[in-house]
């Protein structure tokens, strides 16, 4: 008789010789989760996520054999059918190997990475080509993954068919660029399925652990304070497109900082009548020209969308309004041409490369395991140029 409890393993007879197979102790599985029928993810998926986390965090080692389905089912308080479905989902990701009549084993790294091609899917719902921010994200993604021999597939999707395209293109992991609010449920589905993915540019509370973006609250606080210190009290805003957390965050942070400074908030000075975002049919040039023709107008503007810069500069020139003298403008993002405008634009430069690299490190952890990286919180850097005028005597 062999004492299994002390060795946390078992002994089997193979080709006339005794072999020791290292077995995972139930202790590593921790306290069983409290399942709630009819709420949240199904039981098998909760079990799947718990076991996948153990493998990725290397709390169980390649080659280790898990306790039998019967023992694990009893531990989790489910049927062997439910338990088996959860294990099979982890096995489908290449993290476990299920051997009939022999048990379930933690897969070797070679097996775990052989299930799919080394292929990163970059999903975006608007045209990335020619867009400054998206192109910077793409450059950083390429720099990180190509040295790791990953193929990058760029997909500009009109819808949220993430799962369909994962299957169609053999995607290993996903980087989703600035998805709008209508895709939130599909993003949550990716999380529930345990798919390796990150969101770059927006933060949704329900999937916050997968989201990487700029600290908009800190950026807007600095922007309002900078204009305040220059003597500006009347500040207008041209928000960005689409219903997304970035629009809300910037807009709400602007309102909060104006309130803290006890400055007037005039809905007429906020494009789209004080909304946090604007529709596709909104014309920023017409709105700007109309506002600047009024006596009651702001002395400074915050431009949340970099594609508006040239339009507003051109409109001001056509009206004979001198930026940096008659009005002040601060831009968000610092495209290469911003320093060469007349006058050069005062702008907040997002640390796009650092944000994207942090997202890549997180994604690599979910693909390969190892030490879990910390999610960093980055703030934009204010670059002071000549587009803001000091109103103080």
Banded pLDDT at 376 (limits 50, 70, 90): confident
What per-residue confidence (pLDDT) applies to 13?
35
Round to whole Å and give the CA distance between 156 and 371. Answer: 32
Round to whole Å and give the CA distance between 53 and 382. Answer: 40
Banded pLDDT at 139 (limits 50, 70, 90): very high
Banded pLDDT at 21 (limits 50, 70, 90): very low
Q: What is the mean pLDDT of the chain?
A: 83
Q: Which of 3, 63, 53 is nearest to 30 (CA)?
A: 53
Residue 164 and residue 254 in one domain: no
Residue 346 and residue 231 in one domain: yes
Assess whether pLDDT exceeds 90 at residue 328. Answer: yes
Q: Which of 75, 94, 113 is the last residue of a domain?
A: 113
Assess whether pLDDT exceeds 70 at residue 280. Answer: no
Round to whole Å and give the CA distance between 18 and 307. Answer: 71
**Does a structural domain hold residue 128?**
yes
Residue 161 and residue 258 in one domain: no
Are the CB atoms for 183 and 160 separated by under 8 Å? yes
Banded pLDDT at 8 (limits 50, 70, 90): very low
Banded pLDDT at 111 (limits 50, 70, 90): low
pLDDT greater at residue 282 or residue 217: 217
Domain coverage including residue 189: 116-212
What's the chain's Rg over C-alpha atoms?
Answer: 27
Residue 185 and residue 298 in one domain: no
What per-residue confidence (pLDDT) applies to 34?
66
Among 125-134, 254-263, 295-304, 354-363, the range scoring the smallest mean pLDDT is: 125-134
**Does a structural domain hold residue 387?**
no
What per-residue confidence (pLDDT) applies to 5?
34
pLDDT greater at residue 199 or residue 27: 199
Q: Which of 183, 212, 241 is the last residue of a domain?
A: 212
**Tokens representing 6?**
């002390």
Residue 9 and residue 94 in one domain: yes
Find the CATH number of the domain harbouring 30: 1.10.10.10
Tell me the mean pLDDT in the region 270-293: 76
């Amino acid at each position: 008789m062999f004492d299994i409890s002390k060795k946390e393993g078992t002994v089997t007879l193979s080709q006339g010789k005794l072999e020791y197979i290292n077995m995972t102790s139930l202790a590593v599985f921790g306290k069983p989760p409290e399942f709630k029928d009819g709420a949240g993810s199904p039981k098998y998926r909760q079990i799947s996520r718990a076991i996948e986390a153990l493998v990725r965090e290397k709390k169980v080692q390649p080659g280790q054999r898990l306790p039998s389905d019967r023992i694990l089912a009893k531990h989790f308080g489910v049927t062997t059918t439910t338990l088996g479905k959860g294990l099979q989902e982890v096995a489908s990701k290449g993290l476990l190997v299920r051997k009939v009549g022999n048990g379930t084993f933690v897969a070797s790294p070679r097996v775990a990475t052989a299930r799919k091609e080394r292929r990163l899917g970059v999903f975006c719902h608007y045209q990335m080509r020619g867009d400054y921010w998206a192109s910077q994200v793409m450059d950083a993604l390429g720099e990180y993954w190509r040295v790791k021999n990953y193929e990058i597939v760029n997909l500009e999707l009109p819808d949220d068919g993430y799962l369909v395209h994962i299957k169609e293109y053999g995607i290993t992991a996903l980087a989703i660029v600035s998805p709008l609010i209508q895709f939130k449920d599909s993003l949550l589905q990716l999380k529930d399925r345990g798919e390796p993915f990150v969101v770059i540019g927006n933060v949704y509370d329900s999937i916050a652990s997968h989201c990487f973006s700029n600290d908009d609250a800190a950026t807007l606080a600095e922007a309002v304070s900078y204009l305040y210190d220059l003597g500006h009290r009347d500040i207008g805003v041209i928000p960005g497109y689409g219903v997304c957390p970035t629009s809300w965050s910037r807009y709400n942070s602007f309102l909060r900082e104006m309130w803290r400074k006890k400055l007037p908030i005039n809905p007429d000075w906020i494009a789209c009548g004080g909304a946090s975002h604007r529709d596709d049919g909104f014309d920023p040039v017409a709105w700007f020209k109309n506002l600047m023709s009024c006596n009651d107008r702001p002395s400074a503007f915050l431009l949340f969308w970099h594609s508006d810069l040239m339009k507003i500069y051109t409109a001001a020139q056509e009206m004979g309004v001198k930026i940096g003298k008659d009005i002040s403008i601060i831009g968000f993002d610092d495209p290469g041409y911003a320093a060469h405008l007349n006058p050069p634009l005062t702008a907040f430069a997002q640390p796009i490369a650092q944000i994207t690299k942090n997202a890549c490190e997180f994604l690599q952890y979910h693909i390969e395991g190892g030490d879990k990286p910390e999610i960093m919180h980055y703030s934009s850097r204010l670059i002071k140029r000549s587009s803001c005028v000091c109103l103080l005597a």
